[in-house]
Amino acid sequence: MNIKQAKNVYFLGIGGIGVSALARMLSSLGKKVWGSDNKQSQITNRLISDGIKVIIGHSLDNLEPKPDLVIYSEDVTRDSPGFVELARLDQLGITKLTQAEAVGQLMDDKFGIGVTGTNGKSTTTAMLGLILEAAGTDPSVLVGSLLSAKNESEKFKANARLGTGQFFVAESDEYARKMLKNHPKMIVVTNIAEDHLDYYKDLNDIKEAFRQYIHSLPKDGILIYNADDHNTIEVCRNASCHKFTFGIHHYADLQAINVELREGGQRFDLHLNNVMIGEIELCIPGVFNVANALGAILSSIKLGIKLDVIQRTLAAYAAIWRRFEQVGKLAGKVIISDYAHHPAAITATIEAAKQFYPQKKILVVFQPHHHNRTKALFGEFVESLLSAPDELIIPEIFDVIGREHGEQISSQQLVEELNKKGERAIYASDLDQCGQFIHDKISKYDVVLLMGAGDIDTLARNL
């Protein structure tokens, strides 16, 4: 039983961003789709509003009526609540696929485009998908985030689009080598950094995984990569397919020149092979978003998309869910939620906030995600958080079910180290206390920037 043959498909861990995108896509294909997750969330609420049945809690009763196929999140491990269901599938004679395997099956009959990298892949995937849609290619797209309502269309909603055209764009996650389960004809690499050290041994192990993915491209495949990132260059330079580079600070096939901040965004001159071909305007901040846009632009050019379509689409592009997303105001002060949870992303996001809100007082809140990551990259987290311009609140580490191994680390240690180095950092034992601190301090600030991959986003939206 494969994904195309299955008529009744059950999703285990349907609240995960990647699994939810697949559920939405298969529902659009006319399949009966339902699933379970261990908690309610913005993602599960959106699925329900889109007509997809979601069960909160895990039980064998969820597998009635018996599905033809179960697609499950790779995050479901022996320590996860959902394992009670996963463990019985073989005994019940139900075919199962991981989320990555399912994406691979859907991509096989298309011109697959995998967007991968440590940071920036969701934004780049969304940009590329929207450009291909605007060009009339009717692509299929899977994004690891949620589109802004401003950019949604009748066919491209939330994090998935089902099309009849030849292009299939999918965000390819490097965790647990998931990206090796799909075989695209084009790969876009945003950057490569040390992360997911609960799975990978070290940076060399991470590079080897990316190298395997890149070398899976056919000889006539296309590799698009970031010339400003030394790890990416090291991994990509010996690939035997067609290779093209993008960059800002170093020479590349496609370059952003004269990057300028403007009210409400930024702009830059676009140079292809040392020749200026046009100007790009973005209404989102951050040099990292210029790089993300370059990856999407170069991919689009190589796929034959006209520059005017690219320009119009990017000028209208709004931040996706939890990517420098303004989620509201508290006492008239701007509240921004961002997914940044890796040191490099934290530094880039804080710098973007300082550039976007010059002369403004910014309160930074960071919730560390995953005890293993916090311990393994402790020094890098300290250095990145030292860039906070004013005060800093750090709530306790978000515990990732099934991926913790008893590491002895606390946010309090981060706070102590930061204070030793002169940063004004405050420890919050939980999100309730964190929220109270924000309310107490809001009168002194113009902007509150909340970062992290855990439930800090819920706090941001409820302030």
Residues of each annotated binding site: 117-123
Backbone dihedral angles phi then psi of residue 250, each to the nearest 5 degrees: -125, 160
Q: Cα dist. 160→139, 143, 150, 245 in Å?
A: 10, 6, 15, 27
| Cβ-based neighbours of 217, under 8 Å, separated by 6 or more | 184, 185, 186, 187, 223, 239, 241
Looking at residue 285, the DSSP 8-state letter turns out to be -
Bridge-partner residues for 243, per DSSP? 223
* E strand or H helix at 450: strand 447-451
- What is the rounded CA–CA span in Å between residue 28 and residue 18? 16
| Secondary structure (3-state) at 349 | helix
Looking at residue 165, the DSSP 8-state letter turns out to be S
Quickly count: other Cβ atoms within 10 Å of residue 246's Cβ. Answer: 27
- What is the rounded CA–CA span in Å between residue 94 and residue 444? 58
Q: What is the length of the chain?
A: 463
* E strand or H helix at 121: helix 121-134
Q: Annotated binding site for ATP: which residue ranges?
A: 117-123
DSSP3 helix / strand / coil % (the chain, rounded to 5): 35, 25, 40
